Amino acid sequence: MDYELAVVGGGPAGVAAGIYAVRAGISTIVLEGRMVGGQIIISPWIENYPGFESISGMELAEIFKKHLNKYIEPHELEPVNECSKDGDVFKLVTDKATYSAKALIIATGARYRHLGVPGEGEYTGKGVSYCATCDGFFFKDKKVAVIGGGNTAAVEALYLRNIGMDVCLVHRRNQLRAEKRYQKDVEKKGIRVIYDTVVCQFLGDQTLEAIEFKDVNTEEHRTEEFDGAFVSIGLIPNTELAKNLGVEMDDRGYIMVDDFQRTNVRGVYAAGDITGGARQIVTSCAQGAQAALASTEVLGKQYPF
């Protein structure tokens, strides 16, 4: 059960880390609490990952898994419950076994905050999305709502407007929390903002067709037709293991890394959505590869950078 490198997470970052590590001659284990692929599994279509003009998230996840299996079989459905460091050795405990490694890559990603209203789960991937960069192109020339009032919501609304959508920004408070420069851009672009309003439910037949809103002041309900909705109320980084190891994070809760994906704890690297940034498949893969190659520095190996 002893390895040189343990990769926690089987999304794009974890898959890339596993492939690059084994190819670099590193004894590696990849542990994934669910299925290989991570968040991309729930993406209906992906059109911005180089090499695939259009592919479903599930199909791409299967390709990732097949590629990873060429070098190493990932441990799916085996979440890490505990992680500790004793000297230069990391101990990882799952329900099935205890593993030790000399280096650790945390690639546990981040999960989207959900509204928790009726229809949200039913229409996810069928009109309800959590990533404008990922899914915005599918709604070109259509009417969409962006739910949220922070920087991310404002930026996503602007992005969607710039690629040709009729965009409405919906916020539960009486003013946006986004920085003033974003607020000015929203106004300049003619994006309609509905204040003091929350989503009650998403409606439709096979796909999203309308959203029921409630005015938080008057409690009046109304329904408006939309082709799509982008829920942009933040992400929750999966940093529980990192916290236990004393890994430093920024004020948003994302793990802080340098150009080689190193954290402040020697031997611990982080890659993918858990580090913030663009949070795209292509950047996650790049970070996973970089982290795997950088780990050679604590394993007594040399990689020709």
Kindly report, residue by residue over 217-236, the tens digit of the pLDDT.
Answer: 999 999 999 999 999 998 88
Kindly report, residue by residue over 71-129, the tens digit of the pLDDT.
Answer: 999 999 999 999 999 999 999 999 999 999 999 999 999 888 899 999 999 999 999 99
Query: Within its chain, how far is the Cα of 153 from the centroid?
Result: 15
Whether residue 285 is predicted with pLDDT greater than 70 in this model: the reply is yes
Average pLDDT over residues 164-190: 94
Q: How far apart are the first and last CA of the chain?
A: 30
Q: Which helix (H) or strand (E) holds 19?
A: helix 12-23
Give the residue, 253 or 43, on which the prediction is more confident. 253
Tell me whether residue 134 is one of the annotated catalytic residues. yes
| Those residues with Cβ within 8 angstroms of residue 87's Cβ, 6 or more apart along the chain or in another chain | none
Q: pTM score, two decimals?
A: 0.78
Average pLDDT over residues 172-191: 93
Please tell me which residue in 83, 88, 95, 131 is annotated as part of the active site: 131
**C-alpha–C-alpha distance, residues 89 and 95, integer Å:** 20
Structural domains in the chain plus CATH codes: 2-111+235-298 (3.50.50.60), 114-231 (3.50.50.60)
Structure tokens at 249: 């994070």
Tell me whether residue 285 is one of the annotated catalytic residues. no
Please tell me which residue in 135, 168, 227, 285 is annotated as part of the active site: 135
Please give the DSSP secondary-structure letter assigned to residue 276.
Answer: -
Query: Within its chain, how far is the Cα of 64 from the centroid?
Result: 17
Please tell me which residue in 83, 134, 168, 285 is annotated as part of the active site: 134
CA atoms within 13 A on the CB side of 80: 29
Range with lowest mean pLDDT among 143-147, 241-245, 247-251, 277-281: 277-281
**C-alpha–C-alpha distance, residues 92 and 24, integer Å:** 22
Tell me whether residue 131 is one of the annotated catalytic residues. yes
